[in-house]
A = this chain, B = another copy of it.
Amino acid sequence: MTGGRPPDAGIVTRRLYGDLPLVDADAAAARIADDATVLTSGFGSVGYPKLVPLALADSERDLSLTVVSSGNVGDEIDVALVKSGAIARRFSYQSSAVAREMTNRRDVAFSDRNVSSIGDDVQYGGMVDPDVAVVEAVAVGEDWFVPSTSLGQTPAFVEAADALVVELNRAQPLGLQALHDVYRPEAPPNRTPVPLTDPGERIGDSYVRFDPEKLVAVVETDRSDSTYTFREPTDDDLAIAANLGTFLADEMERSAVFDDDIHLQFGVGSLGNALMGELKDLDFGGRDVVYFGELIQDGLFDMLDAGRLECASATSLALTTEGQERLFADVERYAEDVVLRPADVSNNPGLIDQFGVVGVNSAIEFDIYGNVNSTHVGGGRMINGVGGSADFNRNSLVTVCALPSTLRGGDVSRVVPMAFHVDHTEHDVDVFVTEQGVADVRGRSPVERAELIVENCAHPDFRPALRSYLDDVRERDDHIPHDVRRAAEWFE
């Protein structure tokens, strides 16, 4: 068997094809230089390499790696490897407590880009000088591999890197191949448009091609993803879902755009998962409901199983362990309605625009004028990263920011006078939803936005203080009146 195209008209039936450099993880890790720039697969906490990062973490070497992932990876990287001190520089999303801590102590130099652009940033944009891509696969040949549970920016990373290490994961089913639609946009500056005319269409291959000269190691494993865990929906989650449902019903009534179909996207997390799950009870009036987003979470499988969803397009199967079991048991059937794309397709600004997406994303907090902070607590302490929220908040036809009005058991308001870190500007978000209600700020001036947000979205416990702030600052002749010192007191 040659290493060329997968056999049997593209159906892969075995794990290994051709003459491959099979080695153990330590030997593969040894191929990575001490100060290498390592690009990894992985997105939504799944589909990332596991053994090679662990081997690097366990080595006695004095490593100073730059590690680039396009999304969230697992504990093998963001706990073990980062804790070992091997990572000097990290892009672009992290989610473990230890990675967060080291980022905030600035022991790791962290930099955060929008998901849609990381592939180009790495390959063309001068962000890093890539050395080696380390990717997880369910099957591999001499110049191709089938990715596992996520795609992310893997195709761009493989193109950009000088060398390639593949982790062949036998715990991930071969059937995942049916989900992938690998299309890497052409090189700028004379790209043609991504030829996707429908969120469910397939325009690429089920595998990633690579220059066979690059393949330096293949490592076998059967280690599972360290998947997400979601909490059960809280009362607030359910109230937010109900308010969102009311808004969506009104919007479908208002706009002829949604007469035939509606294209939805939901952000990551327990709330997003709960919203996805609750929408299965919403009356879409016979419209085709389609998901064009970044992550597929368990809640979406509820909608699929209930026959409420035509199809789902994303870059990652960000499922819980139970969700993975459900998928793996029936992967061919799910593949009829589920497609995984590279992140520069799933999060493509042009496509999000074309498909008139209604994007629903959470955040840490938003201010009375509609600026949204997704990444930094108190202005400065990094939580995870911006991820793809800015791709959808900027380019969706209707942009919804949905979150509980408070955190820490009601002690802290998520509606604040002034956001001291802004990931999404006052020009981006159309609608704010909390468990308290909906503020549709489209066409509203900043002060009108503030009135709507305070009255409709803030928690009653914090409304008087927010009203008092607004009443006082509006004495000023400013378009967006503020009292910065007073606004800062909210964070003390």
Contacts and interface: CB of A to CB of B under 8 A. Distances in A.
A106 interface: yes
A189 B397 contact: yes
A372 to B, nearest CB: 10
Contacts of A14: none
Contacts of A114: 394, 427
B355 A353 contact: no
Interface stretch (A5-13, A19-27, A313-321, A478-486): A478-486
Interface string A342-359: 000000111101111100
Given A380-B481, A420-B418, A427-B423, A190 B442 contact: no
A254 B110 CA distance: 24
28 contacts: A91-B443, A103-B479, A106-B445, A106-B474, A110-B445, A111-B444, A111-B445, A112-B427, A113-B427, A121-B442, A125-B442, A126-B254, A188-B397, A189-B261, A189-B354, A189-B397, A191-B356, A192-B197, A193-B193, A193-B194, A350-B351, A371-B422, A379-B478, A380-B479, A386-B425, A422-B422, A424-B425, A425-B425
Given A197-B192, A427-B114, A477-B104, A127 B443 contact: yes
Interface string A411-430: 00000001011111111001
Given A193-B193, A397-B124, A397-B188, A485 B482 contact: no
Contacts of A382: 479-480
Interface of A: 89, 91, 103-106, 109-114, 120-121, 124-128, 185, 187-195, 197-198, 251, 254-255, 257-258, 261-263, 348-351, 353-357, 371, 376, 378-382, 386, 390, 394-395, 397-398, 418, 420-427, 430, 440, 442-448, 474, 476-482, 484-485, 488, 491
A89 B442 CA distance: 13
Contacts of A380: 476, 478-482
A447 B368 CA distance: 28
Nearest to A90: B445
Contacts of A349: 349-350, 353, 394-395
Nearest to A371: B422
A191 B353 contact: yes
Contact of A484 (B254, B351, B420): B420
Q: How many monomers of this protein are in the complex?
A: 2
A193 B195 contact: yes
A258 B189 contact: yes
A445 B381 CA distance: 13
